[in-house]
Chains A and B, each alone.
Chain A
Amino acid sequence: MDNIQLLLQAPVFSVQLLVDGVLVGAIFVLAAYGMALVWGVMNIINVAQGELVILGGYVTWTLFTFGVHPLAGIPVSAAVLFFVGWGMYRAVVFRLVERDLFVSLLATFGISILLQQLMNHNLVFGPDIHSADPGLGSLLLLGGDIVIANIKLAAFAMALAVAAALAVFMKRSRAGRAIRATAQNNRAARLMGVDTDRVYALTFALNAALCGAAGALVVMVWVIHPFIGIIYTVRSFMIVVVAGIGNVAGVAAAGLGLGAAENFAGFILGAEFQAAFVFTLLVVILLWRSFRLGRRRQVLR
């Protein structure tokens, strides 16, 4: 616990950790927003969420190896993943709508394994770790005590921009209204002439596109490899559980908070325990929510 003392002695370190964490937390918000969308509209928890993020990262990385600047990879990743999502819906996910929980959970879990192994195969991306350095340099604050990679600032701004664009889309566009109507009452929406099947396809594709954009940011800020997807699924789930499905501002706040909490935990416990912290936090959060509900004689379900 020497690191705690370090934090107490040099408060500027805490600021560094906080800023870093909040900035990258915005990336988690994107994937979490997608999960909330699919959960709310289709009542499916997509366990393959993290794999979509990683796949988005690979799209940007592939472009990067051909000399394209990774920032330009963000829209491409989103677009490619949009079609991947649409394809996934048409191939499998449409069979999961209105099926019982067991089916949708395990089927998306199977898709998650499938995507991991597909990406891991030597003929596809292979098991190596990749990243795409955008070469943006760093910003020095407080006379150099705080160093912020510009890409993290850019990631934060991009994540906010994408989230805002989505919010406008959901409010203003016809398709967005159809999605919201279906989320509220799919039978009524169907009776009113909404093609719910198309709405579901669009929802899932949008979710994949959000994950794709998040993945493009991940490959610039950190690294990707085929098997680290699950942690993004868990982060998204945690954020949505804390915030609630319909709560956009809450998702943003929870995501940024998670980013900061993770950064502190990684510093205090050591980097090798950062992932352990995330998964343990998930268990703790669920138990805490369940305990709170239990006192009101309710069950988390």
Chain B
Amino acid sequence: MTAARAAGYAALVAVAVAAPFVLPQYQSQLALLWVMVVLALSWDIVGGQMGYNSFGNIVFFGIGVYATAVVQRDLFFDIDEYAHAAGGVASQLAPLEYLGGLALGLVLGALLAVLAAAVLGAGILRLRGHYFAICTLGLGIAMGEIAGGTDYIGAGSGLVTPLFPELLGERNRFFYFYFMLLAFTCFGVLGAVYRCRFGLALNAIRDNEDKAEAMGLRTTRYKTIAWCLSAVFLALAGGAYGNFIGFVDPVDTAFAGPTLGVWMILMAIMGGRGTLWGPVLGAMIFHVSREFLWTYLLGWDRMILGLLTVLIVLFLPLGILGWLRGRTAGRAAAAGVKPSAAESRPSSSTSQPPLSESQP
């Protein structure tokens, strides 16, 4: 790493750490910003780097949300008592209990999500193109519907997460730093992983999976690992997200396909899918503009989201980074570095009749 780059990263970290103290009134929005970064980055592993358009990654997020909430509930509360108190007084916990429950829930949620990704992936990742996309779309909605009908996890009326213990300080600040650390970890891990052989393998699958198989790559294994990696970060984000929101609803919080599920795709594409910085950039632009501008749109905001999806896909399919890269490449070409295509080209004069030389 060059000194300039190290300084750049250090400055970013400093800004990120200082942000909640400088702008305490925006603390919860800033915490959400890091959630968005994690969502976009983790979608891009499969959707961008590997070229599998998943509409159902929200499943792993939802698994994280529910696993954590259920562990927190079952660890410290008697179910009957909980049901009577309806999430009121009973959910007051001591700091260590709270942290222990949260940590255990997050770990279990992550494990469960990885297990789900591995099991589902063994079948679903064999599908390609339309079939994979629609199958994951169906999977995401199915999970929401099933969660909404299952009494053990609160069915349609949802779950209330335990109250944040006052002794731990401000709730929003706690989760701000959790999500920030998660986003940094995600970015760092993905950055490292993409530089390895694994990253090359994912790109190879994206560019031509048949060729990758013909070259002996273990494509099924790589695809499954990629989905599991995505699932880990989504579950870790989801588990804390449920506590951050304070309430778990099957369709609005956990398996939030129409909101978070779409946003993660849109953010990754907007920034530039298949790049490390693209999803980060996309998440920043998307979230900031949503928080500051969309309040003025008075109920038309989600419509604009649909419109934006169409426009970005049609006119900026490579995203902001892809577009910038294309422009710089174009400029380089204009400056004369253009590859000479003269060396070999399918020629029209090759068609000699077969056996022409073997005629007696």
A and B touching (Cβ–Cβ under 8 A) = yes
A5 → chain B, closest Cβ, in Å? 21
Question: Counting CB contacts under 8 A, is B307 at the interface?
Answer: yes
Binds A, one of B108-116, B140-148, B183-191, B347-355: B140-148
Least CB separation from A275: chain B residue = B145
Binds A, one of B9-17, B82-90, B123-131, B283-291: B123-131
Chain A residue numbers with a CB within 8 Å of B129 are 101, 301
- A117-B306, A283-B139 known; A299-B313 Cβ under 8 A: no
Size category of the A interface is 35 or more
Name A83-120 residues within 8 Å CB distance of B: 92, 95, 101-103, 105-107, 109-118, 120
CB atoms of B145 and A234 under 8 A apart = no
Chain A residue numbers with a CB within 8 Å of B310 are 92, 107, 110-111, 114
Chain A residue numbers with a CB within 8 Å of B127 are 286-287, 290, 299-301
Chain B residue numbers with a CB within 8 Å of A117 are 300, 302-303, 305-306
Chain A residue numbers with a CB within 8 Å of B313 are 102-103, 106-107, 110
CB atoms of A109 and B309 under 8 A apart = yes
- Of A45, A106, A120, A230, the contact of B269 (CB 8 Å cutoff): A106
User: In the complex, A131 Cα to B241 Cα: how many Å?
Assistant: 37
Question: Counting CB contacts under 8 A, is A243 at the interface?
Answer: no
Interface string of A181-224 (1 = CB under 8 A from B): 00000000000000000000000000000000000000000000
- A121-B299, A121-B300, A287-B124 known; A279-B145 Cβ under 8 A: yes
- Of B126, B138, B258, B305, the contact of A294 (CB 8 Å cutoff): B126
User: In the complex, A273 Cα to B299 Cα: how many Å?
Assistant: 31
A284 → chain B, closest Cβ, in Å? 9
Interface string of A111-146 (1 = CB under 8 A from B): 111111110111000000000000000000000000
Interface string of B24-38 (1 = CB under 8 A from A): 000000000000000
User: In the complex, A206 Cα to B111 Cα: how many Å?
Assistant: 48
Size category of the B interface is 35 or more
Interface string of A30-49 (1 = CB under 8 A from B): 00000000000000010100
- Of B145, B262, B307, B308, the contact of A276 (CB 8 Å cutoff): B145
- A273-B149, A294-B126, A301-B128 known; A45-B134 Cβ under 8 A: yes
Interface string of B97-138 (1 = CB under 8 A from A): 000000000000000000000000001101111110111011
B206 → chain A, closest Cβ, in Å? 11
Least CB separation from A271: chain B residue = B149
CB atoms of A286 and B149 under 8 A apart = no
* 3 A-B pairs with the lowest CB-CB distances in the bound complex, closest first: A110-B309, A114-B306, A113-B306
Q: List 26 A-B contacts (CB under 8 A).
A: A102-B313, A102-B317, A105-B133, A106-B265, A107-B309, A107-B313, A109-B55, A109-B262, A110-B308, A114-B309, A116-B306, A117-B303, A272-B148, A273-B145, A276-B142, A279-B141, A280-B142, A282-B134, A283-B124, A283-B138, A286-B127, A286-B135, A287-B123, A287-B135, A290-B123, A299-B127
